[in-house]
Structure 1
């Protein structure tokens, strides 16, 4: 018992250090995308901004595509499943993946920014 008391006293005597703060992305976490063509531009902007603010985490095209896939639901998720199953090269090419999303979900080039 005496040893525990001494240990507690020693621990209490240690200087209090603030917890190391973890970096937090200043951009809001992106909403999911369910395949609604009207929401595709917003989805691409949200996810792009989120990834751009944390370039260390999203350092490769494969990581960027993987992140986009985690934000897909419904029809959009069903669309991407065959690409994942086939291990498509698009999964490692962010610009090409975005182009294929735009094509499939009907983003007209005139609306492109």
Structure 2
């Protein structure tokens, strides 16, 4: 091969190597561009996914649990005895129920609870009357006060006023203990409203003779109590 041919071959190879280098550089640049494009597409895809997911509802703040007010324990009281309609026990029964309610105001906070409680304590003919007024929605079932007044009107036959004074004037101890005589005497005396001197004289007059003989030899007390 002559020198001219060798020179041409060398130039050809040089140009070929240069083109190959250029192509390699282009391929590298294209690869970087593709990688950047893939990263952008991935970022856009993640953003779209975040936008498509519905936002979780905002949970309202939980209000603090209120602290219940302190209630002093109510005293334990024996339940009033049942009432069957005896005239002489009507007012004591009502008074016991009233005391029971006053000592347990939390348990019996409503008039309905008081009325229902009283009706459950009625027996015998009093229970028959109570069920009748309850089933007929009588006005007395609206409050304890109204029920008490109706109970007194129907069952209470205790003597009062002049009748109590008449019974008290005829009252005698007889063969009873003095304690029994004293209870009946004070019950009637509270109804007739005599003064203390009159009550004292009538009390002595009603005592049995054997008791009077024992008392008169002693110094009498200054008051009936």
Aligned residues: 89
1:24-63, aligned counterparts within 5 Å? Answer: 25-63=75-113
More helix by share: 2
- Cα drift, residue 32 of structure 1: 0.2
The alignment status of 1:65 with 2:115, answered yes or no, reads: yes
- What is the CA RMSD across the aligned residues, in angstroms? 1.8
- Cα drift, residue 27 of structure 1: 2.7
Q: What is residue 95 of structure 1 aligned with on the other side?
A: 145
Rg: which structure is higher?
Answer: 2
The secondary structure found in structure 1 opposite 2:78 is coil
Contact kept in structure 2, 1:33 and 1:72, CA below 8 Å: yes
Q: Report the Cα distance in structure 2 between the residues aligned to 1:88 and 1:66, rounded to whole angstroms.
A: 13
Q: What's the TM-score once normalised by structure 2's chain length?
A: 0.37
- Deviation >6 Å, runs of 4+: none
Distance 1:27 1:78, change over 3 A: same
Q: Report the Cα distance in structure 1 between the residues aligned to 2:134 and 2:117, rounded to whole angstroms.
A: 13
Q: Report the Cα distance in structure 1 between the residues aligned to 2:126 and 2:75, rounded to whole angstroms.
A: 25
Contiguous gaps of at least 5 residues in structure 2: 1-72, 161-190, 192-225
Q: What's the TM-score once normalised by structure 1's chain length?
A: 0.69
